[in-house]
Structure 1
Amino acid sequence: MYYIKNKPVIIIDGTLYLYRSYFTFQFFKNNQENPYGAIYGILKTIRSILLKCYNSKKIIIIFDSSKKTFRNEIFNEYKSNRPKMPNSLYIQIQPLFHILKNIGIKTLRIPGIEADDIIGSFSRKLEKCGEQVLIASHDKDMIQLLTNNINILNTSNNEIITPKTIKKKYGINPQEFIDLLALMGDKSDNIPGIPKIGIKTALFLLQKFSNIQKIYKNIEKIKLLSLRNAKNISNQLTIYKDSAFLSYKLAKIKLDIPICINANDIILDKTCFKKLSNAIETYNVKQKNADNN
């Protein structure tokens, strides 16, 4: 369990856990062969987070909308490598929202805005209001949001990630993670980056120059660095300069999306945890009955 004095607001990356739950429990079906694994997985994830961070009473789950975003407008191939949402997952979304509402857990999605941008903007709004924030996610894009008051709970290994964690592991600051993605790209989101520049080269350049703006201001110096294939790297940077800055725009999470709710709107009541546990048990019973048949 994590004892955090100031009772942070917990923001859950709902879209990430929706897909993870779906694939983890994709064979969970009731007697009518209707799938419910994604619902079951999300509910279990929420309970697990609350048990680990039981000192917190404020929680919200953020989801993507189905609308295209500004990233699709500036780069048509953004996330084009991802398959369409399976219908067996799609049909669970509205029932999930209904269940979460009945439990008393706030959800938020905004048409045309990615969950990452909502999480980033809401985190900054909460921070300005004096709140501590804990983002439940293991998406590397979230690293750029880290501050002294905004941390990440990686539920895959139960690690609390702070700016010091990133500095120690990568040798760069959280904000520079945008530049890292801009240089090396991100296959999961189809962000192009610069061909032939991997994480080691990208980190070397950022540790030396801090960000891509300074890298390009010092492009002639790169050829002289004690870096393997320094001349070829300099050439790649020159050829793919537009791609680097486009990738930066794609990787950067927006922090200025208007969010109409505040921390007091997402406080859990005393019955929430019991309702959540009851809902999970209902699905456990359904699964047992399905297995017996």
Structure 2
Amino acid sequence: MYYIKTKPVIIVDGTLYLYRSYFTFQYFKNDQENPYGAIYGILKTIKNILLKYYNSKKIIIIFDSSQKTFRNKIFTAYKSNRPKMPNELYIQIQPLFHILKEIGIKTLSIPGIEADDIIGSFAHKVEQSGEKVLIVSHDKDMIQLLTNNISILNTSNNEIITPITIQKKYGINPQEFIDLLALMGDKSDNIPGVPKIGIKTALCLLQKFSNIQNIYDNIEQIQFLSLRNAKNVSNQLKIHKDTAFLSYKLAKINLDIPIYINANDIILKTVCFQKLSNMIKTYNVHQKRNL
């Protein structure tokens, strides 16, 4: 378990935990055989964050909207590999929003804007106001948002991720993680990357040239690097230059989305935690009755 004394503004990747909760608690159904596992999982995650990790009073949950984003416009195959949302999950969304509102937990989604961009923009805004931020997610796209004031909590292993974590693990800074995804691609989001360039080659290039623009500015030097199949790597980069820069645009989180709320708008009321605990207890009792 990881504890921290500071009280950061907590931003939860709601879409990620919505799906995770749905698949973890698929068998949770009420007397009418309606599923509610996603609702239960989200509420339990929030309680664990507030109780076990941080005593923060500022928390917001960010969700995707159902509309396509600019990434779909510039690359129609973006996330096209993902299956349609299961109906058993879809029917839990509005009840979940209603419950969160009743409890007093703020949610935010913006039509046509991906949750990642909302998270990044809100985190950036909060940081500029002088507060620290904790992003709750295990999506690797979030790594690029890390700063001295923005950290990530991965609830899968209770790890707190900071810029130092990334530097030690990959030998690059968090902002260069965009370039890493642009070079090696990202199957989960269907970002193409440069064919035949994996993580080892991409990291070697970035540790040498820092970013994708510098790589192409020094493209003729790559064939002389002590890199396996250096000449082939150079040729691949030349052939797929447009795809590399397209992948960069797809991977980069937008920090300039207008967000019309601030950290003081998401302060929890005193009764919130008790309401949350009562709701989880109700669902848990109901679940046991149906097993």
TM-score normalized by structure 1?
0.98
Quote the Cα distance in structure 2 between the aligned partners of 1:4 and 1:133: 13
Determine whether 1:181 maps to 2:204.
no
Q: Secondary structure at the match of 1:160?
A: strand
1-side partners of 2:265 and 2:3: how far apart?
Answer: 23
Q: Which residue of 2 aligns with 1:223?
A: 223
Asked whether the 8 Å contact 2:43–2:280 carries over to 1, the reply is yes
Please say if residues 179 and 212 of structure 2, whose CA atoms lie closer than 8 Å, have aligned partners that are also in contact.
Answer: yes
Residue 67 of structure 2: aligned partner: 67
Match of 1:31 in 2: 31
- TM-aligned CA deviation for residue 16 of structure 1: 0.2
Following the alignment from structure 1 to structure 2, what is the Cα–Cα distance between the partners of residues 51 and 223?
53
Q: Any stretches of 5+ residues in structure 2 without a counterpart? A: none
Map of 2:84 onto structure 1: 84
| 3-state SS of paired residue (1:223) | helix
Match of 1:202 in 2: 202
Instruction: Give the Cα–Cα distance (whole angstroms) in 2 for the partners of residues 55 and 96 of structure 1.
Output: 23
| 1:261-290 deviations in Å (ceiling 9; x for gaps) | 001110011111111011001111111221
User: After superposition, what is the alpha-carbon deviation per residue over 1:103-134, rounded to whole angstroms, capped at 9, x for unaligned?
Assistant: 00000000000000000000000001001000
User: d(CA) in 1 for partners of 2:112 and 2:4?
Assistant: 34
1:123-202 aligned at under 5 Å gives the runs 123-202=123-202
Post-superposition offset of 1:37: 0.4
Q: Which amino acid aligns with 2:201?
A: T
Q: What is the distance in 2 between the residues matched to 1:102 and 1:186?
A: 38
Shift of 1:55: 2.3
Q: Secondary structure at the match of 2:244?
A: helix
Give me the whole-angstrom Cα distance separating, in 2, the residues matched to 1:52 and 1:28.
Answer: 24
User: Match of 1:139, as an amino acid?
Assistant: D
Q: Is the 8 A contact 1:3 1:55 kept in 2?
A: no
Deviations 1:172-198 (A, max 9, x none): 000000000000000000000011100
2:106 counterpart residue number: 106
Shift, 1:2, TM fit: 5.0
Aligned AA (1:204) = C
Query: Which stretches in structure 1 are left out of the alignment for 5+ residues?
Result: none
Residue 56 of structure 1 aligns with which residue?
56
Aligned to 2:20: 20
In structure 1, give the amino acid aligned to 2:38. A
Deviation at 1:30, TM superposition (A): 1.0
The answer to whether the 8 Å contact 1:4/1:55 transfers is no
**AA aligned opposite 1:120:** G
Measured in 1, the distance between the counterparts of 2:159 and 2:275 equals: 27
1:258 aligns with 2:258: yes
Change (3 A) 1:3 1:157: closer
Which amino acid counterpart does residue 233 of structure 1 have in structure 2?
V
Instruction: Give the secondary structure class of the aligned counterpart of 1:177.
Output: helix
- 1:83 aligned counterpart, secondary structure: coil
Measure, in 2, the Cα distance between the counterparts of 1:290 and 1:48: 24
Q: Measure, in 2, the Cα distance between the counterparts of 1:225 and 1:122.
A: 41
Indicate the SS of the match to 1:228: coil
Contact 2:2/2:160 (<8 A) preserved: no
Deviation at residue 4 of structure 1 after TM alignment: 3.9
What SS does the corresponding residue of 2:224 show, helix, strand or coil? Answer: coil
| Distance (whole Å) between structure 1 residues aligned to residue 2 and residue 222 of structure 2 | 44
The code of the aligned residue for 1:87 comes to N
- Quick one: distance in 1 between partners of 2:55 and 2:282? 26
Confirm whether residue 267 of structure 1 aligns to residue 287 of structure 2. Answer: no
- After the TM superposition, which segments of 4 or more aligned residues of structure 1 sit over 3 Å from their partners? 1-6
Q: Distance in 1 between matches of 2:39 and 2:281?
A: 12
Task: Give the superposition deviation at 1:207.
Answer: 0.2
Instruction: Let me know the Cα RMSD of the aligned residues.
Output: 0.9
Sequence identity of aligned pairs in percent? 84
Instruction: After TM superposition, give the deviation of residue 6 of structure 1 in Å.
Output: 4.0
